[in-house]
Amino acid sequence: MAQKEVRDLITDTKKQLEHLRVLGVEGIQVSTTPVPAAAPPAAMPSKPMTSLFGELTPAPVKLTKSFETFEQIHAEIGDCTRCPLHQQRTHVVHTEGNRKARLMFVGEAPGADEDSQSRPFVGRAGQLLTKIIEAIGMKREEVLIGNVNRCRPPGNRAPTTEEASMCKPYLLREIAVVQPEVIVVLGNTAMKNLLDTREGITRLRGQFQDYQGIKVMPTFHPAYLLRDPSKKRETWEDLKKVRDYLDRHRRSEP
């Protein structure tokens, strides 16, 4: 490579690195030592490029602790009319449970029983969820339980993307307040909304995922287990992984 081409390459690289610094990429160093005129092409090292790209690997994102209260979040939601689901609902169904929980369960939306009682997971699927929680050695009041959407969709259909987008930010704010160690997402809709993934539940279930530093375990929704009891064993294996993780890791107190 001619000396002028080498100098041009260095100049272009410096410009690119300066652009990355403006974007917030830190920890990049560029040598300003000129290339000796007599240096043969074989003397040009290839390793710095490899280490350079290694340095550009983004740091893991960790969820920032929020000092809001649930009461503030729920007051902001109010008698919500942000999406069409309010037209047929009876109640807004908020997240409930231990606000210092290590473990949180997230479903997609309330059903008929939840809509009438204004509580999440109190119908047949909720009763099964309670049994699942007890099977891993915990009590329902020890965990946090909620849904992506807080209003019941007609006919218990899955919320649309637009409907979920209205409610999801409030769920994320609750998660930022509590900062559970593990979130179990129940079913395809809840998983896709929390993780922003196109992958299906059958592909990701049983494998820990990440939501801003929080472990996320996708598994089947209890309502699905009522329709197909053969999936209970797989769900049990998923929840055993959650139990074992919580047994091995303890939240460090400030």
Domain count, the chain: 2
> Is the domain of 40 the same as that of 158?
no
| Contacting residues for 53 by C-beta, under 8 A, at least 6 apart | none
Which pLDDT tens digit goes with each residue over 202-213? 999 999 999 999
Q: Is 182 exposed, middle or buried (0-12, 13-18, 19+ CB in 10 A)?
A: buried
How many Cα atoms within 13 Å fall on the side-chain side of residue 152?
19
Region 102-112 average pLDDT: 98
pLDDT grade, residue 13 (50/70/90)?
A: low
> Is the domain of 98 the same as that of 49?
no
Here the CATH number for the domain that contains residue 199 is 3.40.470.10
In a domain, 102, yes or no: yes
> Is the domain of 123 the same as that of 210?
yes
| DSSP state, residue 250 | -
In a domain, 64, yes or no: no
pLDDT of residue 89: 97
In a domain, 179, yes or no: yes
> Is the domain of 19 the same as that of 143?
no
pLDDT of residue 48: 43
| Structure tokens, 12 | 């272009």
pLDDT of residue 222: 98
Taking the C-alpha atoms of residue 12 and residue 6, their distance in angstroms, rounded to an integer, is: 10
> Is the domain of 44 the same as that of 95?
no
> Is the domain of 115 the same as that of 240?
yes
pTM, 2 dp: 0.76
> Is the domain of 143 the same as that of 184?
yes
> Is the domain of 90 the same as that of 8?
no
Residue percentage of the chain with pLDDT more than 70 = 75
Residue type at 131 in one-letter notation: K
In a domain, 81, yes or no: yes
Phi, psi of 107 (to 5 degrees): -105, -165
In a domain, 138, yes or no: yes
> Is the domain of 75 the same as that of 127?
yes
In a domain, 65, yes or no: no
Region 166-175 average pLDDT: 98
Q: Give the burial string for 194-216 (b: 16+ CB within 10 Å, else e).
A: bbeeeeebeebbbeebebeebbb
Which pLDDT tens digit goes with each residue over 75-87? 999 999 999 999 9
pLDDT of residue 60: 64
In a domain, 61, yes or no: no
pLDDT grade, residue 250 (50/70/90)?
A: confident
Range of the domain at 193: 70-248
Residue 17 reports pLDDT greater than 90: no
Taking the C-alpha atoms of residue 106 and residue 89, their distance in angstroms, rounded to an integer, is: 20
Average pLDDT in the chain = 85
> Is the domain of 41 the same as that of 78?
no
Region 133-145 average pLDDT: 98
> Is the domain of 37 the same as that of 99?
no
In a domain, 155, yes or no: yes
Taking the C-alpha atoms of residue 112 and residue 118, their distance in angstroms, rounded to an integer, is: 10
| H or E element at residue 219 | strand 214-219
| Structure tokens, 231 | 């999936």
pLDDT grade, residue 88 (50/70/90)?
A: very high
Which pLDDT tens digit goes with each residue over 179-195? 999 999 999 999 999 99
